[in-house]
């Protein structure tokens, strides 16, 4: 089965003062830490080898999650002295990641998206050199990001078009794309996206189910309410 990576290095400035003493991915909603929801979802889909990058209060994350055995996962840790942005964090974690497709998700999102849907795409990416080397899950634009990021033209991601959708922080990446990117250096992901899209390397899909990016305490409270409603509906 394929590997995954959870991005968990950010400080979560908009969540302060909660994140002054607790790393954002360990904040709880629905009775679990945000990152635990992600680990459990990945394991259910068969992604048991998981790399986690961490910077802010990294020792808290390691102490809480350990080697992942209690979740049925095998966690490896990429500890950054400071948060290196998304592309920098991925590049720095390359020694812990396999060459080829890796599912990379943010540790501060919650979603009902079933990661098993990406297994066939990962298998194709691993065997067909001509296939897209990146596959993004796009979502409808949340209120805080009404302009969106990219368009979908068929199953390809484009920089222009309508409607523009928001990248849901869920993506398959061929890690070969990050070879040569310096380790331990900050790199944002957007310039890489722009290059890959211009080269026709990025496919995508639209997910319209539950998805939340937790940026503020209000977002966390709203997610707690959403999870409680979903739990009640499944037990009714």
Q: Once rounded to an integer, what is the mean pLDDT over residues 157-171? A: 95
Least confident of 31-35, 133-137, 216-220: 216-220
Least confident of 15-19, 72-76, 132-136, 144-148: 15-19
Q: Once rounded to an integer, what is the mean pLDDT over residues 212-227? A: 91
Give the whole-angstrom CA distance, residue 236 versus residue 230. Answer: 10
pLDDT band at 234 (very low <50, low <70, confident <90, very high): low
CATH assignment at residue 199: 3.90.550.10
Question: 170 - beta bridge partners?
Answer: 105
Question: pTM here?
Answer: 0.95
Question: Residue 64: pLDDT above 70?
Answer: yes
CB 119 within 8 A of CB 188: no
The gap from C-alpha 10 to its chain's centroid, in whole angstroms, comes to 12
Identify the domain containing residue 115 by its residue range: 3-235
Task: Note the pLDDT of residue 236.
Answer: 58
Q: Count the domains in the chain.
A: 1
- With a CB cutoff of 8 Å and minimum separation 6, the contacts of 179 are 94
Give the whole-angstrom CA distance, residue 236 versus residue 233. Answer: 5
pLDDT tens column, 17-56? 888 899 999 999 999 999 999 999 999 999 999 999 999 9
């Amino acid at each position: 089965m394929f590997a995954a990576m959870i991005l968990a290095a950010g400080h979560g400035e908009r969540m302060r003062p909660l994140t002054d003493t607790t790393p954002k991915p360990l904040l709880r909603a629905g009775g679990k830490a945000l990152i635990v929801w992600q680990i459990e979802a990945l394991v259910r889909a068969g992604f048991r080898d998981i790399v986690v990058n961490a910077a802010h209060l990294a020792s808290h994350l390691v102490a809480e999650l350990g080697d992942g055995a209690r979740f049925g996962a095998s966690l490896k840790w990429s500890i950054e002295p400071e948060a290196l942005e998304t592309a920098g964090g991925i590049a720095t974690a390359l020694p812990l990641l396999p060459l080829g497709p890796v599912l990379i998700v943010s540790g501060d999102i919650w979603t009902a998206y079933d990661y098993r849907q990406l297994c066939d795409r990962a298998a194709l990416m691993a065997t067909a050199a001509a296939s897209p080397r990146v596959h993004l899950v796009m979502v409808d634009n949340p209120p805080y990001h009404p302009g969106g990021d990219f368009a979908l033209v068929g199953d390809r991601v484009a920089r222009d078009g309508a409607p523009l959708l928001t990248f849901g922080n869920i993506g398959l990446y061929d890690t070969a794309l990050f070879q040569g990117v310096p380790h331990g250096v900050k790199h944002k992901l957007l310039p890489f996206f722009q290059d890959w899209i211009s080269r026709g390397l990025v496919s995508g899909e639209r997910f319209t189910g539950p998805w939340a990016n937790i940026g503020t305490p209000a977002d966390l409270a709203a997610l707690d309410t959403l999870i409680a409603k979903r739990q009640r509906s499944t037990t009714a």
